Structure 1
């Protein structure tokens, strides 16, 4: 019996297999598409307004698609320099 792949391991595998494609990067967000194991492609994004989101059936911000996007994205709040 094989152990189930963890979400983090699955996300890293998506990256190694070239399944994540970043389509748009701006100060206000990142949009990427991730091909899941079922060969369906999911839209993932980080937005400074809406935070992290994915349109996969998991419907949480902890799915492997978003974990993969987080591994290649640095998101932080802008701080005032006053």
Structure 2
């Protein structure tokens, strides 16, 4: 089973391996700094949006989209 962003626990890190979805969603995420090869740290995933730290910047994304982002846990 593949790990996705919503499988990370608070303060756990992961390396983005890919995004399941069309070119539009990949482009939107890339413009926000979330693309293949980026290291992310989970800030909060308890309820509501998933909040991430990406190179010192905070990004909040919906749980549905977070479930499409494949990661390797670090």
TM range (shorter): 0.3 to 0.5
Larger-Rg structure: 1
TM-score (norm 2): 0.33
Pick the structure with more strand per residue. 2
TM-score (norm 1): 0.30
Considering Cα pairs closer than 8 Å and 6+ residues apart, tell me whether 1 or 2 has the greater RCO: 2
